[in-house]
A = this chain, B = another copy of it.
Amino acid sequence: MTATRSSDRLPDGREIYYYGEAPILADPSDGPSAGHWTPDRSELRWDPLMEEWVIVAPHRRRRAAATGALCPLCPTRGDDLTEIPAARYDVAVFENRFPALSGPWTADFAPVGPLPRSAAAAGRCEVISYSSEHDVTPALLPAARLVTVIEALADRTAELGAMPGVQYVFCFENHGAEVGATVSHAHGQVYAYPFVPPRIARMRDAARHSAARGAGCLFCEVQRQEAAGSRVVERGDHWTAFVPYAARWPYEIHLYPRRHLPDLAALTPAERAELAQLYGSVLRRLAGLPGGPLPYMALWIQAPVTEDREVFHLHLQIFTDRAGTGGPKRLAAGELGAGVFVSEVDPERAAEELRAVRTSAGLE
């Protein structure tokens, strides 16, 4: 990691970390305090039909009421107390005040035994702010800042992954009010789950099947196919960005490292630097589409913490739920009830449109 890191505690006891290209300009008066923050804990309930855990978190409804006029990710200035005590920062990570997952792991998550099955929703939820500036979007951040974001996510992945009971660290970004972001300040989130989430488990199973067939790494095979095809959006020395063959969303882009590696922590400095450039460039392509900037989700797909690390292959999935023309893609009964996506966009054409967007560099 080239970024510096310092840690602190919020007045209520939650942890906060600063990552930066430059030394942190935190106000030393905001030093560690003796807060005793105890979040309302969610409940995990086992859905026996889908064999999945559902997080029941009624306390999270208070989020909306808790959001005042002040942006919680802007630096604290004078008496305007936000979530972040520092007067200026590059990247800040802190514990979510209304976490879906929190506290130590106590339960047995094996899906057996009599119904109904319940457990405390152990784990941890963090928020990562990408800048102390309120009005900059992730697409416009300089590559150096995106390197710091990536390094912070790699650090969080390693640190949360080492906590007892954590099975998966999921880093993601919901960008735009239309996709549920309650705060417009550029930020992402990190969820540490006490189990391997179902969608990740599906990919793990597929990767296992490929290995069992003697076909090697499934993700490497997919990348070989895609790199030679007509859906490539951008190509670097270490990474390839493409619209996947079976894209579900109006615009969907996957960004794969050429080298087979499990997670963000395993990237070399050269791979991180190019990832930051391509990540920004892909976001600017999305922002530059007709009707843009479009809301999007960015998902960092990493290996589970302990199991199946060798069959997994880090990649980034980015998609928007709307086409340039028309409203959002609605998930209806076909998608939500049967689980079968109907895409109304031709993936090859989507790739063509994305390639055609002019991307200037970020604010260097």
Q: Which residues of A contact B (CB under 8 A)?
A: 42, 45-58, 60-61, 64, 100, 112, 115-116, 168, 170, 172-174, 179-181, 189, 191, 193, 197-203, 205-206, 209-210, 213, 218-219, 221-222, 225, 244-248, 297-299, 317, 326, 330-334, 336-347, 349
Contacts of A209 in B (CB 8 A): 51
Nearest B-chain residue to A55, judged by Cβ: B342
Report the nearest B residue to A347, measured CB to CB: B56
With contact pairs A56-B347, A115-B221, A179-B332 given, residues A49 and B203 touching in the complex (Cβ less than 8 Å): yes
The 3 closest A-B pairs by CB, nearest first: A199-B339, A180-B330, A198-B339
When the two chains form their complex, are residues A115 and B333 in contact, meaning their CB atoms are under 8 A apart? no
A sample of 6 cross-chain residue pairs with beta-carbon separation below 8 angstroms, ordered by A number, consists of A49-B206, A49-B219, A52-B246, A170-B337, A180-B332, A197-B340
Contacts of A112 in B (CB 8 A): 213
Partner of A200, one of B246, B339, B344: B339
From B115, B179, B334, B346, contact of A191 by CB (8 A) = B334
- The residue that A339 contacts in the complex, of B42, B52, B337, with Cβ under 8 A, is B52
* Chain B residues near A52 (CB-CB < 8 A): 246, 339-341
Minimal Cβ-Cβ distance residue in B for A328:
B180
Are B245 and A342 neighbours in the complex by a CB distance under 8 Å?
A: no
In the docked arrangement, what's the CA distance between A180 and B337, Å? 13
Known: A54-B341, A54-B342, A297-B332. 4 other contacts (CB 8 A): A53-B246, A64-B326, A100-B334, A200-B339
